[in-house]
Amino acid sequence: MKTWPYPRVAAHRGGGTLAPENTLAGLCVGAGFGHTMVEFDAKLSADNIAFLLHDDTVDRTSNGRGAAAQLRYAQIAAFDAGSWCDPRFEDEHMPTLAEAAQCCREEGLAANVEIKPCAGRDTETGRIVGAETAKLWKKASGLPPLLSSFSFEALAAAREAAPDLPRGLLFERVPDDWREQTAALGCLSLHASHRHLDQALVARIKEAGLFVLAYTVNELERARELASWGVDTICTDRIDLIDPHALDG
């Protein structure tokens, strides 16, 4: 029987709600609360640089405007991606995947790299992010990065580019054909919204030989309930409330 190597708690987008998401400051804030695993989103700029951003546009989390797929990374890097969260994060930028990998090494963080393609760029994003993740973490000690995506096509391309990296397929609500989809991708894990999980479904997923990651769990009581069902890792914004050892034992 395979064992799940990752921590029980992962810090969502780095620092949860306590720091600007998908930034180096966010990763460091997560580490500062003692977390040893972070989740963050990776997509491509117009010139195919892999960098950290959740949305298709830069509008919500920076002082910039426009679609990421239409902006070169040099333009994106110049935006202030921190002040929207708190003035003390002024001039924080949207880092490259390479910068995030370096930060994870320095802070001793395991990474869940969510491949977040812009519309129409699934295969390209999966291929580039997968290959770059494998290269960046090749000589790193510690746990291998866990690749995940809501996009079947992106995760399939990542598998082709980085076959040795573990993969998890993301769903909001787990579909009826989850077994077929995860098997086709050779997944180690299935990731789903905790709102649509119940004890029986978690049991079925585990019986199929998959590990389970639940997102985004912000109440300690709910996190402990999910853990009691067999959920292996919960991803949380409340990195202050759900500490790294909250689900141990």
Domain ranges of the chain: 9-236
1, pLDDT greater than 60? no
Tokens of 154: 């992106």
Which superfamily does CATH assign the domain made up of 9-236 to? Phosphatidylinositol (PI) phosphodiesterase (3.20.20.190)
Kindly state the DSSP code that residue 213 receives in the 8-state scheme: E
Active-site residue list: 12, 54
Mean pLDDT of all residues in 52-74: 98
pLDDT attached to residue 112:
98
Assign 132 to helix, strand or coil: helix
- CB atoms < 10 A from the CB of 38, how many? 31
User: Is residue 23's pLDDT more than 80?
Assistant: yes
Summary mean pLDDT of the chain: 97
User: Could you tell me the end-to-end alpha-carbon distance of the chain, in angstroms, rounded to an integer?
Assistant: 20
pLDDT given at position 193: 98
Distances (CA, A) of 164 to 13, 136, 187, 223, 245: 24, 13, 11, 30, 29
The predicted-structure confidence for 205-246, as pLDDT tens digits, reads as follows 999 999 999 999 999 999 999 999 999 999 999 999 999 999
What are the pLDDT digits (tens) for 140-176? 889 999 999 999 999 999 999 999 999 999 999 999 9
Q: What is the mean pLDDT of residues 44-60?
A: 98
- Closest by CA to 118, choosing from 74, 87, 158, 154, is 154
Tell me the pLDDT tens digit for each residue of 72-114.
999 999 999 999 999 999 999 999 999 999 999 999 999 999 9
pLDDT of residue 246: 95
Note the pTM of the prediction, 2 decimals.
0.98
202 CB contacts (<8 Å, ≥6 apart)? Answer: 212, 226, 229, 230, 231
Inter-residue contact 9 to 233 (CB < 8 Å): yes
User: Binning pLDDT at 50, 70 and 90, where does residue 139 land?
Assistant: confident
